[in-house]
């Protein structure tokens, strides 16, 4: 498959859908609101890389910009979707659902998987029921729920449906019922969503990158994360934002433990039915056994700041090759190898809706 194009090696018209931090800040949203969104540097790198691969990338922007352009009749061979959405546990599913309604293929996991994995408790239930290791947990929906928690201390608390370490700091590690009540009350008020509480694992922390689909999916590499000068290695929002100064990222290839991490990561990827790529966060218990923490089906894509490209670099894969591979995985799911036909519009769906009809 040439340059990640369709089954006949053709160049693709690729729409780029994303949430740009500066767009939302200009509208009055806070730094906390836009923590998961992308920088101009990320979008420029992605756009430039696709051009070098021979494709024709077009910036679309966020979900509202996508809706306007679809209503105006625009279509793309493929959409490269990294939009996180603004609020709600289905926010990562909004763009995939819209694209599915219009029959437009896109990268990464589908709407169902994006919603399932953003709710960390639901994802952990799937992992647990699949026989994979994950810390015991509870969900706090209201302050009174903390009295029902029967987990072993220390505990770890974080918002149920956030990423990029939002809501995670030194206070997230909890040693007593009084601390649990105080932290959960604060998180409930701040993020207006349930809190995930799980038994704290004191061991090493890793993240694993996976590429591919079905039986062809494989672990590209594993990276150990060490937070400098933090005895409990809390990989917080601040640590992620200032990772160049606060963290060390170490290539990890230790035989026995690597095999366990590889098996756990791939098992989680398949159990949750992810596509094209994902990043699995893993932490070890006191005996050194790895446990699933969470999975990101829309991993960050900044060439040097995001974990997925960092793992690719450590494994000798260039950023250009990483993007080419992701495009190739998406196209292999979409285009028949013996046909140049693009994914057809589902029967009964209009090619364009009147713009005023969408806006009302």
Q: Has residue 314 been placed in a domain?
A: no
Based on the domain organization, do 190 and 207 belong to the same domain?
Answer: no
**Mean pLDDT in each 10-residue stretch from start to end of the chain (360 residues)?**
48 96 93 89 98 97 97 97 93 97 97 97 98 98 96 96 85 95 96 96 96 96 86 61 76 94 98 98 97 97 95 98 97 66 38 40
Among left, alpha and beta (phi > 0; psi -120 to 50; other), residue 158 is: beta
Query: Does one domain contain both 25 and 92?
Result: yes
Co-location of 281 and 207 in the same domain: yes
Kindly state the tokens that stand for 66: 């996508």
Distance between CA atoms of 193 and 139, rounded to whole angstroms? 10
DSSP, collapsed to helix, strand or coil, labels residue 227 as: strand
Whether residues 22 and 57 share a domain: the answer is yes
Residue 195 maps to which CATH number? Answer: 3.30.1490.20
Are both 219 and 189 inside the same structural domain? no
In a shared domain, residues 191 and 247: no
One domain, residues 16 and 103:
yes
The candidate with the shortest Cα–Cα distance to 311, out of 356, 265, 257, 274, is: 265
Claim to verify: residue 260 and residue 206 sit in the same structural domain: yes
Find residue 20's DSSP bridge partners.
Answer: 38
What is the extent of the structural domain holding 56?
2-108
Listed residue (47, 41, 49, 48) closest to 17, CA to CA: 47
pLDDT given for residue 140 in this prediction: 98
For residues 50 and 57, the answer to whether their CB atoms sit within 8 Å is: yes
> CATH number for the domain including 75?
3.40.50.20
On whether residue 330 sits in a domain, the answer given is: no
Distance CA 34, CA 32 (A): 6
Report the pLDDT value the prediction gives residue 228, as an integer from 0 to 100.
Answer: 79
Name the β-bridge partners of 205: 225, 283
Question: Could you give the residue ranges of the DSSP H alpha helices within the chain?
Answer: 21-26, 40-52, 63-71, 94-101, 111-118, 120-129, 177-191, 237-241, 243-246, 255-271, 307-314, 319-334, 355-359
């Amino acid at each position: 498959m040439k340059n990640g194009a369709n089954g006949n090696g053709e160049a693709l018209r690729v729409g780029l859908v994303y949430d740009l931090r500066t767009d939302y800040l200009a509208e009055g949203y806070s730094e906390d609101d836009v923590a998961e969104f992308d920088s101009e540097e990320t979008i420029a790198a992605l756009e430039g890389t696709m051009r070098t691969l021979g494709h024709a990338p077009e910036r679309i922007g966020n979900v509202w910009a996508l809706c306007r352009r679809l209503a105006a009749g625009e279509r793309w061979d493929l959409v490269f979707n990294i939009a996180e959405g603004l609020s709600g546990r289905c926010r990562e599913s909004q763009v995939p659902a819209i694209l599915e309604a219009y029959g437009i293929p896109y990268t990464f996991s589908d709407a169902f998987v994006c919603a399932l994995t953003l709710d960390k408790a639901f994802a952990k239930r799937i992992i647990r029921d699949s026989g994979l290791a994950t810390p015991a947990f509870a969900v706090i929906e209201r302050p009174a729920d903390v009295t029902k928690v029967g987990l072993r201390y220390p505990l770890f608390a974080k918002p149920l449906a956030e990423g990029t370490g939002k809501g995670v700091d030194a206070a997230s590690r909890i040693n007593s019922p009084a601390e649990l009540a105080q932290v959960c009350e604060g998180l409930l008020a701040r993020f207006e969503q349930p809190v995930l509480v799980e038994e704290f694992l004191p061991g090493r922390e890793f993240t694993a990158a996976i590429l591919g689909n079905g039986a062809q999916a494989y672990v590209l590499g594993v990276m150990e994360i060490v937070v400098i000068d933090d005895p409990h290695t809390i990989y917080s929002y601040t640590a992620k934002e200032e990772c160049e100064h606060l963290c060390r990222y170490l290539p990890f290839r230790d035989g026995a433990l690597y095999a366990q991490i590889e098996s756990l990561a791939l098992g989680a990827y398949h159990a949750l039915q992810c596509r094209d790529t994902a990043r699995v966060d893993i932490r070890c218990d006191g005996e050194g056994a790895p446990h699933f923490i969470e999975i990101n089906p829309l991993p960050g894509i900044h060439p040097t700041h995001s974990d997925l490209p960092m793992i690719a670099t450590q494994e000798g894969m260039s950023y250009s090759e990483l993007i080419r591979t992701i495009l190739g995985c998406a196209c292999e799911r979409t285009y028949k190898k013996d046909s140049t036909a693009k994914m057809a519009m589902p029967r009964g769906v209009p090619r364009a809706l009147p713009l005023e009809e969408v806006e009302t």
